[in-house]
Amino acid sequence: MADRDLLTGEHFIHGDAACAEGGIAAGCRFFAGYPITPATEVAERMATRLPQVGGIYIQMEDEIASMAAILGASWGGTKSMTSTSGPGFSLMMENIGLGMMTETPCVVVNIQRGGPSTGLPTLVGQADVMQARWGAHGDYGCIALAPASPQECFDLTVHAFNLSEIYRQPVFVLGDEVVGHMSERVVIPKREDLNVVARKKPEVSPRDYLPFATLGSLPAPMAVAGQGYHVHVTGLTHDERGYPVITDSVQERNVRHIVDKIRRNADKIIRYEGVSLEDAEVVVVAYGCTGRVARQSVENMRNRGHKVGLLRLITVWPFPSKVIRSLAGKVKGFVVPEINYGQVAYEVERTAQGKAEVTLVGLMGGAIHTPGEIEEAAGEYL
């Protein structure tokens, strides 16, 4: 694809549009989706941009069909993507599980709003974190990235596509309404300055190809249906050829693989930003739009002489357990502001293993924290 197909340079755009541009920059050429606030603008941008770069946009009848369509497109050799918010994310779960079991790379952008049910369609929430991790039944590894700015919406969507190709599975961009609808400067680099992972294709003959074999802790290269390789894709427990084999031993192999390919590579996948952690007595753990407020809170408290640090999660899943455990032995407590009634806070508490207290500063949705609310909670430890 020529550089003219990318909108390189500086742009003043919102996070939803930046997600779409990140997908295009990563090589996405198929998008299937259904309108839903506050993620509709991702689809609208794709509807305009994909025809300009030789791609295909389809508005499906619902989110169930959208997820099925991008899985099929991926097996047809095309990088694919969809976007949604909480209610649509719920509808996608069965086919997300199918994508995990069939090791199908694709990207799902979830711009979170207040829930449950219809909830607050136009207002912010961060309550889909545990759903992203555990929403589909069964065991599997999960990768979810949480952008805190329109620039990160672009960057992390590109990164999500790269991770989906490396680990052969759906990857989530777990945004939120504030970041999705926020407009800021976004720099889109030239193609030669982008790190884009191409899909690995089989190097063996069709006769010797096993689509569900493993290469150490990584999945096998993925053949394109219709290019001479025999492809059998099923959500049933299957052998290395993809054929159903309903036994406990094959199930053991299947599930261990789709979990362990993430667990064993977690250190390579996890990203976070640390601010003033070296001497921190209290650490604020935050992500998404809340991470922006938390940064101001930490700066305010530092200016008043308090030793407070920030751990901003860029990768929510896999969770940076090692980092939390390391800090837990040194700090008085963790403060976790999030726009839910406690999701990441419980994960921090679990991984701290009782070595430090954890305080949730929760909002139920519709509004973001003030710096003062976070500072008050942190001040209880000082």
Burial 256-286 (b: 16+ CB within 10 A, else e): ebbbebbeebbeebbebeebebeebebbbbb
CA distance 44 to 50: 10
Whether residue 184 is contained in a domain is answered as: yes
- Report if residue 42 sits inside a domain: yes
Q: Are residues 22 and 170 in the same domain?
A: yes
Among residues 362, 368, 337, 370, which one has the least CA distance to residue 179? 368
pLDDT tier, 188 (very low <50, low <70, confident <90, very high otherwise):
very high
Residues 180 and 63 in one domain: yes
Instruction: Return the higher-pLDDT residue of 2 and 317.
Output: 317
- Going by pLDDT thresholds of 50, 70 and 90, the confidence category of residue 4 is low
Find the largest Cα–Cα distance for the chain: 69
pLDDT at 218 over 50: yes
Last residue of a domain, one of 147, 178, 193: 193
Q: Tell me: do 332 and 188 sit in the same domain.
A: no
Q: Is residue 1 pLDDT above 80, yes or no?
A: no
Please answer whether residues 181 and 13 qualify as being in contact, where contact means their C-beta atoms are separated by less than 8 angstroms: no
Whether residue 185 sits in one domain with residue 86:
yes
Distance of CA 166 to the CA centre of its chain: 14
Domain harbouring 70, CATH code: 3.40.50.970
pLDDT in tens, 22-70: 999 999 999 999 999 999 999 999 999 999 999 999 999 999 999 999 9
3-state secondary structure of 120: strand
Cα dihedral 41/370/278/328 (nearest 10):
-90
Is residue 342 domain-resident?
yes
Per-residue model confidence (pLDDT) at position 2: 46
Query: 288: domain CATH number?
Result: 3.40.50.920
Q: In the prediction, which pLDDT does 6 show? A: 86
Phi/psi at 332 (5° precision): -80, -30
Q: What is the pLDDT of residues 74-124, one digit of tens each?
A: 999 999 999 999 999 999 999 999 999 999 999 999 999 999 999 999 999
Question: What φ, ψ does residue 318 adopt, rounded to 5°?
Answer: -60, 150
The answer as to whether 32 is a domain residue is yes
Q: Tell me which of 193, 225, 244 is where a domain ends.
A: 193
**Could you tell me if residue 233 is inside a domain?**
no
- Are residues 189 and 338 located together in one domain of the fold? no
Look at residue 254 and tell me if it is in a domain: no
Tokens of 144: 């979810």
Looking at the structure, tell me whether residues 161 and 286 fall in a common domain: no
Angle between helices 344-352 and 321-328 in degrees, nearest 10: 60
* Confidence (pLDDT) at 5: 80
Contact (CB, 8 A) for 348 and 272 = no
Tell me the pLDDT tens digit for each residue of 228-280: 999 999 999 999 999 999 999 999 999 999 999 999 999 999 999 999 999 99
Compute φ and ψ for 369, nearest 5 degrees. -70, 155
Among candidate residues 193, 211, 226, the one where a domain is terminated: 193
- Count of CB atoms situated within 10 Å of the CB of 362: 18
> Are 356 and 278 spatial neighbours (Cβ–Cβ below 8 Å)?
no
Whether 140 maps to a domain, the answer reads: yes
Residue 362 lies in a domain: yes
Q: Which domain holds residue 296?
A: 274-379
Cis peptide before 87 (omega within 30 of 0): no
169 neighbors 100 (Cβ within 8 angstroms): yes
Q: Is 158 left (phi over 0), alpha (psi -120 to 50) or beta?
A: alpha
pLDDT at 3: 53
Is the pTM higher than 0.85? The answer reads: yes
Same domain membership, residue 140 and residue 44: yes
| Residue 10 and residue 157 in one domain | yes
The sign of the torsion formed by the CA atoms of 340, 353, 297, 38 equals negative
Q: How many domains does the chain have?
A: 2
